[in-house]
Chains A and B, each alone.
Chain A
Amino acid sequence: MCGIIGVIDRKRELMDGSSIKRALSKMDERGSGEGAGYVAYGVFPEFKNYYAIHVFFDNIHESKAAVDHLLSEWGIVVHDEEIPTSDHAKIRKIHTPWRYFFKPDATLMPRSTAPEEDIVAHIVMKVNTTMAGVLVFSSGKNIGVFKASGWPEDVAEFYKIHEYKGYIWLGHNRYPTNTPGWWGGAHPFNLLNWSVVHNGEITSYGTNRRYIESYGYHCTMFTDTEVVAYLVDLLVRKHGLSAEMAVKALAPPFWDEIDRMPEKARLLHTAIRLAYGPALMNGPFAIVVANEDSIVGFTDRIKLRPLVSGEYGNRLYISSEEAAIRTMEPDVENIMMPRAGSPIIGRLVV
């Protein structure tokens, strides 16, 4: 069933990870202790111009040299380190989490309009599809994903997330059915600056995956959520749709509703459904997507999963449960439930 939460401070004021940890563990009823994770934006100010490539190594001696080599072929690594963790009684450290701060050499992809991003995306896909025992799970600038198999509070303590400060945080409490226990299967899923947390199951996954893979993405994590990150990357970054229009592609109005719209809107929504039919996501879901300047929450078209939002000052909160939001901010205001298929969007105003 899974629990999700996200927060953005629209003035970019930083929050440490302790309150989202409490909020997420408030939703332990929604999880099973087999996966939890967080992502924070703005956590590496000293390396903010570098892609923070986070990797799980099954065995550092076997695989790290190959990753180092691949990165050196495409750019330079200015710093790398094992991601600090604490010895935690409840987390079995089956992977070694590592992070690289990487600058791609844009001249190596001369025909691309966004060479740095395309190089990083290429590296992520290459590592995840061809290198055994290695998984890149976070690849954005100034962004860190912290995830493992365990309860949210244990994972938070394991990664010491209270020591990180970000202006956007997403968290996810997992009740896995597909890949229990695998760290890679925990949320958030990330590609470049996109991160996704998701509650539900995408029944159109087979269609969505085949569609996105025809654009050069590779789904490697055996779970439906990663496809959301790639769809958003395609629609927003590559095709230039706004967040609102991307949500209209992923969770469009029904045809009978489109038929009743005034002509211009009808044409627009018909075009979106024709062009992006294979991107339509079916099945029950509530999703929060973040990038460096916004968070967007939305549900499936018939609202089969819960989503609540609230505000306090400059902060917008989106979660599966009001109680989780109130745990983070007891004085939260404007609690509301977004309509099915309608996005709740929080953007930086700085």
Chain B
Amino acid sequence: MSIGTVPMKFKVSVDSEQCMACARCVENCSYGVFRMEDGVVRVSSRHCVACHRCLAMCPRDAISIESRPIDYRDHPLWTTGVKEAIFNQARTGKIIVGAMGNALPYPVIFDRLVLDACQVTNPSIDPLREPMELRTYIGKKPSHLDLRTKENGDVELMSTLVPNLKLETPIMIGHMSYGAISLNAQTSLAKAVSQIGTFMGTGEGGLHESLYPYQDNMIVQVASGRFGVNIDYLERGAAIEIKIGQGAKPGIGGHLPGEKVNKEVSVTRMIPEGSDAISPAPHHDIYSIEDLKQLVRSLKEATEWKKPVFVKIAAVHNSAAIAAGIARSSADAIVIDGFRGGTGAAPRVFRDHVGIPVEAAIASVDAKLRQQGIRNEVSVIASGGIRESADVAKIIALGADAVYIGTAALIALGCRVCGTCNRGVCAWGIATQRPDLVKRLDPEIGSNQVVNLIHGWTDELAELMGAAGINSIESLRGNRDRLRSYMLDEALMTVLDVKSVGA
């Protein structure tokens, strides 16, 4: 007995009263939903992924998209997703791959935490008029200073500072490689970060020549595949990040299919055109923590100790202890990527079931580093599921120095989180290498939107801090007294070290 077809995910309809048959939808849909027949727009709803490109481009609001017009019988256990995965695997016998972040409805810890504001006993500070400091330095800090007071009263600094990244806002953009996203997408992000005074990651795709003008605001990545890595690349970056793992797929490697490795991608990745770019699960020169230290120090030695070196791990059960080990490896910053982190492609079973939320991971990493008296010596960067300025404020209060955003920055470029990055035909020109699609994304416009987003968040963060009577970001960092839990369980409250609302 054949399984047959499954219900449509989306039903697309065109209001013929409104439609002027301009065919913009036909041109714009890269998934093949629309076609023009005898001057009338016809649809194949089954192809729709709800990327909304057609809606955005339709001049008459003639198109509507309905989710799941025909669904299965409701069942709390045998959900649509579960059933369709079974159908899929019954048919193919393969591992299911999907894109973007964790798609299961786990409770969001951020949404169970509320922030504080001042009333009477201390004044809230108006960030519009009074100084409000969001500047953040990422990198190694001295545990104490050696200061000498000279005869004439001048104080001399005897300690030396190692290079840090100077951020004008604690919001950076995480690593999304050229290959996974288009060059126009990377260029948009690069222009944005250099304009704002923050940083972005290159991902494991090398650094395209056209991005060299922005290299002072780019963090180059060294991952297990070492794609695009040579000494020139390392020297160009403002900092170097070793990627051990990724929140969307902890414990496994990556795979950029050969069809996405076009000529340009092949140049920056330094692999032959059309060849698969396979990143192994581990770095095969790192099988233990002391090996990580070797790589950190080797990168520092190669770049004459001028570049901060970050180490990124996926948030897993034992992140705190791992982070404590990383902190001792000469690394300058630790990136903790939570299980809601996005990706261009990940096995569904990993995306949805492996790893822990970034809120809990950051709280335990911060606590562990404090217990060991080394918290301020190393920076902690949170990523994976940072959706808005309130999340930034909350994760900093839980102990992060700064955040990486990924999906949010792509949404600012037009991404609708349709979750089909792996298809390579992104209609917004973001997760695709098809030249006709890529050119839809104008880096001037794109960068402006990303700048606007980060400005908006930064202003909101300043407002939140001001309301809490704090005028410098370091006084928010790890200040869990300014958070309360709203209906989190006691065990989680202990991990987060926050009290309940009302307490």
Contact = CB atoms under 8 A, between A and B. Distances in A.
Is A–B contact present in the complex under a CB 8 A cutoff?
yes
Given A203-B475, A271-B157, A302-B125, A242 B149 contact: yes
Interface in A260-314: 264, 267-268, 270-278, 280-284, 301-302, 304
Given A203-B470, A271-B161, A275-B376, A280 B475 contact: yes
B371 interface: yes
Q: Which 5 A-B residue pairings sit nearest by Cβ, starting from the closest?
A: A206-B481, A204-B475, A277-B474, A282-B475, A206-B479
Interface of B: 118, 121-123, 125, 130-131, 133, 135, 137, 141-145, 147, 149, 155-157, 159, 161, 164, 370-373, 375-376, 397, 468-472, 474-482
Interface of A: 177, 200-201, 203-207, 209-211, 213-215, 238-242, 244-245, 254-256, 264, 267-268, 270-278, 280-284, 301-302, 304
Nearest to B476: A207
Given A282-B471, A302-B131, A239 B145 contact: yes
A239 B144 contact: yes
B474 A207 contact: yes
A264 B158 CA distance: 11
A203 B130 CA distance: 16
B161 A274 contact: yes
Contacts of A256: 131
Nearest to B146: A240
Contacts of A213: 370
Chain B binding surface, main DSSP class? loop
Contact of A280 (B125, B131, B474): B474
B133 A207 contact: no
Given A205-B481, A242-B149, A271 B142 contact: yes
B118 A275 contact: no
Contacts of A215: 373
B142 A275 contact: yes
Nearest to B498: A206
Contacts of A206: 397, 478-482
Given A239-B145, A302-B471, A207 B478 contact: yes
A15 B372 CA distance: 45
Question: Does more than half of chain A's interface fall in helix, strand or loop, or is it mixed?
Answer: helix
Contact of A207 (B131, B161, B164, B479): B479
A274 B472 CA distance: 13
Contacts of B397: 206
A281 B131 CA distance: 15
Nearest to A248: B155
B56 to A, nearest CB: 41
B285 to A, nearest CB: 32
B475 A207 contact: yes
22 contacts: A200-B122, A203-B118, A206-B478, A206-B482, A210-B478, A211-B376, A238-B144, A254-B133, A264-B156, A267-B157, A268-B156, A268-B157, A271-B142, A275-B142, A278-B376, A278-B477, A280-B474, A283-B122, A284-B469, A301-B471, A302-B125, A302-B471
Contacts of B121: 177, 201
A301 B135 CA distance: 16
Contacts of A244: 155
- Which of B130, B370, B397 has its CB near the most chain A CB atoms (within 10 A)? B370
Contacts of A204: 470, 474-476, 479
Contacts of A268: 147, 155-157
A273 B166 CA distance: 13
B404 to A, nearest CB: 20
Given A206-B480, A254-B133, A271-B159, A214 B471 contact: no
Given A204-B476, A275-B143, 4 more contacts: A207-B477, A211-B370, A214-B373, A264-B156
A255 B169 CA distance: 13
Contact of A203 (B149, B370, B468): B468
A164 to B, nearest CB: 32
Contacts of A242: 147, 149, 155
Given A204-B475, A205-B481, A283-B470, A277 B376 contact: yes
A230 to B, nearest CB: 14
A79 B307 CA distance: 60
A238 B145 CA distance: 11
Contacts of A284: 122-123, 469
B131 A203 contact: no
A168 B137 CA distance: 40
Nearest to A215: B373
Nearest to B118: A203
Nearest to A270: B161
Contacts of A241: 145, 147
Contacts of B122: 200-201, 203, 283-284, 304
Nearest to A211: B376
A270 B142 CA distance: 11
A305 to B, nearest CB: 10
Contacts of B470: 203-204, 282-283
A209 B143 CA distance: 16
Contacts of B164: 274
A267 B123 CA distance: 32
Contacts of A277: 141, 376, 474, 477
A293 to B, nearest CB: 16
A211 B141 CA distance: 14
A241 B375 CA distance: 21
Contacts of A239: 144-145
A244 B155 CA distance: 10
A302 B124 CA distance: 12
A277 B474 CA distance: 6
A282 B472 contact: yes
Nearest to B145: A275
Given A278-B376, A302-B125, A203 B469 contact: yes
